[in-house]
Amino acid sequence: MIKTRCLVVDDERLALEVMESYIERVPFLHLAKLCSTPLQALEFLAQNPIDVLFLDIDMPGLSGLQLLQTLKSPPLVILTTAYSQFGVEAFALNVTDYLLKPIPFNRFLAAVQKVQTQLGTHRLPTTESAPEPKPLTGHLFVKSGVKTMRVDLDDILFIEGKKDYVLVHTRHQKISTQFSLTGFMEKLPPAHFARIHRSFIVALTKIDSIERNRIVIATTEVPIGELYREEFFNRIG
């Protein structure tokens, strides 16, 4: 199955989480990225192919409609907003659908079925092998208490969401931070990291073994969530 690659842009964390959960429930969709600002989305779109863009309208700095107007060759667009007054302007930009928040799942499903129709049901998978991901380089700065700590991406084993904080497990230490798992997924290169559970992000190259509904990384067992299972096993082949 060729999956439809989705990019979600919204400045509200809860809205991002809702869209993430909806996309995970639909077998033919693949979440490529969650972005909390239009500028993050522009940077991602410049380097990554996308089939459909879920775009909030009312965002600070640059609205969703302004972002859409900057794109020379935009993907299919589904607007997500709490305001109905933008409808005429939105459809003048040839959007596929216009979803009013709070978005029911059945309305979301109807919108993505429109996307499938527009994309066509006869897309054939490429026979070329997917390119190998580039070697993992770079780093993040993570605020932990009164310190801001540099974390090399290649040192990260997995990231664990707790009730009130997040633990970054590296080869050498565990770093506690208030930064969210969704925030980490926005900053981590998707070729090297995968969310496999509501509470876990793992470094794919650090997986030692997989057994049914869990993986082992450096002797630690990490569960695979049911909502994330299909996408994870598709990725690792």
CA distance 8 to 16: 7
- What CATH number has the domain spanning 139-236? 2.40.50.1020
Write down the residue that tokens 């991406």 correspond to.
Answer: 153
| Residue range 68-85, pLDDT digits in tens | 888 888 899 999 988 766
pLDDT band (50, 70, 90) for residue 86: low
CA distance 231 to 29: 9
pLDDT at 9: 95
Q: What value does the mean pLDDT of the chain take?
A: 85
pLDDT band (50, 70, 90) for residue 183: confident
pLDDT band (50, 70, 90) for residue 134: low
Instruction: Specify the pairing of strand 147-152 against strand 139-144.
Output: antiparallel
pLDDT at 130: 44
Look up the CATH architecture of domain 4-119: 3-Layer(aba) Sandwich (3.40)
28 has a pLDDT exceeding 50: yes
pLDDT at 231: 83
Phi and psi angles of residue 103, each rounded to the nearest 5 degrees, phi first: -90, 115
pLDDT over 90 percentage in the chain: 46
Q: Which of 158, 152, 157 is CA-nearest to residue 137?
A: 152
CA distance 143 to 136: 22
Phi and psi angles of residue 65, each rounded to the nearest 5 degrees, phi first: -65, -40
Predicted TM-score of the model (pTM): 0.52
CA distance 231 to 237: 10
Q: What is the mean pLDDT of residues 194-221?
A: 90
- Residue spans per domain, the chain: 4-119, 139-236
